[in-house]
Amino acid sequence: MLKRRIFLIPVFVITTLTFTYCTGKPELSRTEFALGTVCSVTLYDKGNPAIYRDIFSRLREIENYMSVNLPDTDVARINAAAGVAPVQVHDDVFKVIQKALYFAEISGGAFDPTVGPLVSLWGIGSENPRVPSQAEIDAALSLINWRDVELDKEQRSVFLRRPGMALDLGAIAKGYAADEAAVIIRKAGLKQAIIDLGGNILVYGEKKDKSPWRVSVQDPLEDRGRSLGVITGPEATMVTSGVYERFFEADGQQYHHIFSPFNGYPADTGLLSVTIISKNSIDADALSTAVFVLGYEKGRALIEPLEGTEAVFVFNDQSVRKTEGANLKINNNSYILIPD
């Protein structure tokens, strides 16, 4: 069980950064609120403010297309037209939904972008979260099925077949946004950068001294910045899904925000968190959620055949397991790495 209410993201174990936030001057790092979370970008080549501006406006653009918390986004329009008519969407939205359906398929529906009715019902992260009745959960479950999303490539349109269905891209859109931020960094010809979108981390390029990147894995039971271990390696993305990101308490129980589309409750598979290491952040984001819902054995079976994809599993009893290629060192006595 969690010891306290925390809201956090994996934090870097990288040398002290001097923060020079002066308009017009090169900045080492910039932090802004976007996509419902704290987003930080560090451009080691002393990013010029125009690049930060481009990155953060791209993040906001993606939010404005994909949020379910804003009116008139493409996703809000798709949901409003559920059971009625297909809705034409921006390229970004179409691509993310296509990917979401792919991950729904390969995860056997553990990841399901039509989880919207359950998210609204529980209200976790909203001002009024609550434990719904079984009848309400059953009603929401009857509306969840990724196979009822119709895509039309020619029209670039999306149709939810049944009224009441609702997309929620919260488990995948931040990954896409991190990849898109990396595209801007690449185009600008920068050499090293870190993108941190509330738990979606992307380390870009090579460090000047050629040493590997070091990214810490958050201790899911402690405050922000307390790590359980460090992952080292080259350019990659590391995305974590965990019980600690968003939750509420009722009657002495804690309920977190990652739902099992099979029973309508917060997924309870004995895991505190799952971190996926991969090349693309969109993949890592979808997979971290999928694996969290599937649990260790099925989740590992999903990850192992995927090239360039590794995972770290943290269990309720504070034991840790990892796939072979995950370069993790535990640095916290409360956790034990179980060898294969």
Encoded amino acid at 239, one letter: V
| 2, 7, 26, 36: which one binds ligand FAD (CB under 6 A) | 36
From residue 139, alpha-carbon distances to 113, 121, 136 in Å are 17, 10, 5
Q: Total number of residues binding ligand FAD (CB under 6 A)?
A: 31
Note whether 298 binds ligand FAD by CB under 6 A.
no
Q: Minimal distance in Å, beta carbon 100 to Mg ion?
A: 10
Note whether 40 binds ligand FAD by CB under 6 A.
no
Note whether 273 binds ligand FAD by CB under 6 A.
no
Note whether 99 binds ligand FAD by CB under 6 A.
no
Instruction: Please answer whether residues 9 and 224 qualify as being in contact, where contact means their C-beta atoms are separated by less than 8 angstroms.
Output: yes
Burial of 298 (0-12, 13-18, 19+ CB in 10 A): middle
Q: Which does 196 bind (CB under 5 to 8 A by kind): ligand FAD, Mg ion, none?
A: none
Name 216's Cβ contacts closer than 8 Å, sequence gap at least 6: 10, 11, 12, 13, 227, 229, 230, 231
From residue 168, alpha-carbon distances to 4, 32, 44, 120, 294 in Å are 27, 23, 34, 10, 19
Burial of 14 (0-12, 13-18, 19+ CB in 10 A): middle
Q: What gap in Å lies between CA 163 and CA 165, rounded to an integer?
A: 6
Q: Minimal distance in Å, beta carbon 269 to ligand FAD?
A: 12
Q: Minimal distance in Å, beta carbon 289 to Mg ion?
A: 4
- Choice between 27 and 92, CB closer to ligand FAD: 92
Binding piece for ligand FAD, criterion CB under 6 A, among 13-21, 65-73, 84-92, 295-303: 65-73
Note whether 69 binds ligand FAD by CB under 6 A.
yes
**Contact residues for ligand FAD, defined by CB under 6 A:** 35-37, 63, 66-67, 69, 111-113, 115, 119, 125, 168-171, 173-174, 199, 241, 245-246, 257-259, 261, 285, 288-289, 293
